[in-house]
Structure 1
Amino acid sequence: MSLRRLHRLNAVLLGLFLALHLTNHAALLAGQAAHSGVMAALRPLYRNPLVEPLLIALFAAQILLGLMLAWRRGRPTTGWALAQLASGLTLAVFLLQHIPAVLLARPATDTDIAFAAATVESLPKALYFAPYYLLAVTALATHLAAALRFARWPAPPGVWARTLPGIGAAFGLVILAGLWGAFG
């Protein structure tokens, strides 16, 4: 199997987790109780002793595969290739910070909404973490958009490729609004 196909297959598997994870964050807009209810339903799935190490391994593999693909491709020659590279690198940096931070905090702290909201509720932390979360969600949508764009190559990009980055940015703002409102 090619690196590209393996990267795509891995992305599909991770996409299932990410859809659930981001849905949990979006539930904040319905209030803390809704968020806590979704989290209580999902945690047994992705914190399962068999599933969690697999998820971590899939994320590690995705980062490695993405870096290998970027290295093979070389310098981006189009705006879409640059968007794919920049969004992939943004995701890699985010994941290399986010996953260890959550795992290392967990023995002493419940990594619930209070844990996440504490990163954006006051200055100076919010100056780092608000863009951190916003860029991560935007990068995820942009990376997916670039994949959709290249799937149609050389035909013009479809509507999803053109709109997903904006949808990702808007959804990132929704998550931030939920985090800011969690204890306000």
Structure 2
Amino acid sequence: MNLPIYGYGNQVLKKQSQHVEKGFSDLNILIADMWQTMADACGCGLAASQIGRPIQLFVVDSALLYCNMNQSETDEFFEAGDRGIREVFINAQIISQSDRKWEDIEGCLSVPYLSGKVSRPWSINVRYQNEQFELVEKEFSGMTARVILHEYDHTQGVLYINRLKPGFKMLLETRLKLLLKGKVYTPYKMKF
């Protein structure tokens, strides 16, 4: 089912998400709805809080990004042999991150039509549970790490715009005020 995406200013996006217990009611349906909602909105990641469910759950599809890049872009944003992922992350924890940082432009389905440069670690080590609640610990890098960190931030009640340089965020203020009022058209359903 295609669900509405909660927009900038909605209180659910500011909440720290709750731990997901094994046996969570209709989790597989919720995950399937998240994949559908993300695909219909042409996204590469979606956190449960973005559909009004403040739980520690997000989906990431950096393989889609990889497929839509040319060779020079994949060389820049992905490690050799990495073709992205399509994974579910439950109760994710960032265990470690590299000292190496890089800036790139980020956007968000909850903050449509705006974007800005965000500095993130090049690589991270993440501990999480998959759909079967099996414990997984993996290292991710480049664009995949960026998408994971962006979605992880949602579980912490943080939007990428909170990570923008103050001067740049000031430039977006007028447009953010319009979003607060729900004055935006998107090809996907939104709730403000």
Same fold (TM over 0.5): no
Instruction: Report the structure number with the largest CA radius of gyration.
Output: 1
Structure ranking higher on relative contact order (CA contacts 8 Å, 6+ apart) = 2
More helix by share: 1
TM-score by length of 2: 0.29
TM-score by length of 1: 0.30
